[in-house]
Chain A
């Protein structure tokens, strides 16, 4: 029975990987603020997927399952002692200058503001980062975010509003700095 189910399961796993790997890596990178850690988390999540289930495919919401496991994996990493140490001694990641048909000055200014927004995002609390990433980057509803993070909707809204307020403040500072130049 298991032998017959394996190829189907494998195909399902591959499809899930193609569909969600990039999304989950981006989510982990936002929550953790580290590209290498995010890559490892994404790999870990898909290993858990394979280990957790090797029978016939059951109809569950795999996108939500993967998101939840990713968030939990990020939390596990944050709980490690070395993680707290490394975060205190780490500079925020830098943005690449991507050619989007803009002048070098515009690209540099855009990259700088993106970098500053990313740095401001990393200064949010871990809960605020999780909530913001799930709501605005992953496009979940506040109800879904509450379900994924095991929080009340009111709590999600509170964290979300604080995060938005802080990030808008950072954006305003960037805009005023641009105006002074």
Chain B
């Protein structure tokens, strides 16, 4: 009884490297001949597929599109993250930072000091020495006198 060729011997025969006894068996055995033909067909199909697949002429396929989609998703993700972070930062700043009130107070104080300094008869020294409330009261009363045409003598004309 003849033993059929192993896969490796069959492949060696395909490579032209099998021994004479194996080749003689291959010629006489229908099963091995069919297996040999199948091996040949398989190798042709594999080689053809790989040649087609690796051909440099083909254009970028779905993989290129996938890359673009992935890149766009990453950019959008970063944008969303940055946007969310900015919103959170603003909210936390509004809760924690008391600066807006401080700024309003400082502005009103600065306004008062400017008014005081710009009014006649008030020097920086007097402002610094005296009580701010008193100075403001004095200044307000002086302004009302200056505005009054009778008090300033404008009515005589």
Mark A residues whose CB is within 8 Å of B. Answer: 22, 25-27, 29-30, 35, 38-39, 42, 91, 93-96, 98, 113-115, 117-118, 121, 133, 136-137, 142, 157, 160-161, 164-165, 167-168, 171
A residues less than 8 Å from B42 (CB atoms): 167-168, 171
* Interface SS majority for chain A: helix
Chain A neighbourhood of B61, CB < 8 A:
93-96
The residues of B that contact A42 with a CB separation of less than 8 Å are: 56
A91-B63, A94-B61 known; A164 vs B50 contact (CB < 8 Å): no
CB within 8 A of B52: which of A25, A98, A165?
A: A98
Q: Is B47 an interface residue, CB under 8 A from the partner?
A: yes
Taking a contact as CB atoms under 8 Å apart, the answer to whether B56 and A96 are in contact is no
Interface residue from A30, A93, A168 paired with B63 (Cβ < 8 Å):
A93
Taking Cβ atoms with an 8 Å cutoff, the residues of B that contact A are: 7-8, 11-12, 15, 17, 39, 42-43, 45-47, 49-63, 66
**Which residues of the other chain, B, contact A167 by a CB distance below 8 angstroms?**
42, 46
Q: Does A137 lie within 8 Å of B54, measured CB to CB? A: yes
Instruction: Flag if A137 contacts B50 (CB, 8 Å).
Output: yes
**How many Å lie between the Cα of A165 and that of B7 in the bound state?**
8
A168–B46 CB distance below 8 A: yes
Please tell me which one of the listed residues A22, A94, A117 contacts residue B46 in the complex, with CB atoms under 8 A apart. Answer: A117
B45 to chain A, nearest CB (A): 6
- Chain B residues near A98 (CB-CB < 8 A): 52, 58
Flag if A96 contacts B50 (CB, 8 Å).
no
B8 near A161: Cβ-Cβ < 8 Å: yes
- CB<8 Å pairs between A and B, sample of 7: A27-B54, A30-B54, A94-B61, A118-B50, A133-B50, A136-B47, A157-B15
Closest CB of chain B to A94's CB: distance in Å?
A: 4
Residue of A nearest to B55 (CB): A26
A94 near B62: Cβ-Cβ < 8 Å: yes
* Residues of B contacting A95 in the complex (Cβ-Cβ under 8 angstroms): 52-53, 61
Interfacial chain A residues near B7, Cβ < 8 Å = 165
* Cα(A113)–Cα(B61), bound, Å: 16
A168 CA to B36 CA in the complex, in Å? 13
Partner of A113, one of B49, B54, B66: B49
Seed contacts A29-B54, A117-B46, A136-B46; 17 additional CB < 8 Å A-B pairs: A22-B56, A26-B51, A26-B56, A35-B60, A42-B56, A93-B53, A96-B61, A113-B49, A117-B45, A117-B53, A121-B50, A142-B15, A142-B17, A157-B12, A167-B42, A168-B42, A168-B46
